[in-house]
Amino acid sequence: MHEGFEEYVRARGDSLRRLAYLICGDRHLGEDLLQEVLVKAYRRWPRIEAEQPDGYIRTALVRTHVSWLRRRSSGERPGTVPDGAVPGDFTEGQALRDEIWSRLGGLTRTQRAVMVLRFYEDLDDHSIAEILRCSPSTVRVHAARALARLRAGLQTATSEGAKP
């Protein structure tokens, strides 16, 4: 029915899936989020296509994620460096990556959305504010609090790891 929709999803699907993954922090939840947004977009495609599809889908992903009431069924996340890891070792890099994902998971949904939109999508405060329906100063507050929370968590983890 909407050939333009199918072409759009074929062309932008991987990028949208990555964005949804970064927003959710979980591949499967990201796929669920993207699917939910694409179903809604399909129904309105003629109007969306005439406007700016990327902006519409990006906004829908963030707003849908922020409004989701369901939570992960499992809160387990690896977050420490395995015993016996050698500096520069592959396991150390993986442990650091897991630690960062764990810290991102500790942010509020809005803070995480701000971080992803700012650092992954490279959007300015005004654009993020439009997506989240808030003021640019509110975006800056969310970003500052998220960065402070991430820094504090990493400093705690680093100082705990340095103790004998």
Q: What is the CATH number of the domain that holds 111?
A: 1.10.10
Structural domain includes residue 82: no
| Nearest alpha-carbon partner for 104 in 118, 90, 92, 91 | 118
Task: Examine the domain organization and report whether 112 and 60 are in the same domain.
Answer: no
- Domain final residue, candidates 38, 67, 96: 67
**Global pTM exceeds 0.75:** no
End-to-end alpha carbon distance in the chain? 65
Q: What is the mean pLDDT of residues 108-127?
A: 90
Structural domain includes residue 79: no
**Rounded Cα distance, 150 and 47, in Å:** 40
Structural domain includes residue 13: yes
Contacts of 27 (CB under 8 A, 6+ apart): 21
| pLDDT, averaged across the chain | 81
Q: Give residue 128's domain range.
A: 107-162
Q: What is the mean pLDDT of residues 101-117?
A: 87
**Rounded Cα distance, 75 and 90, in Å:** 25
In the chain, the number of structural domains is: 2
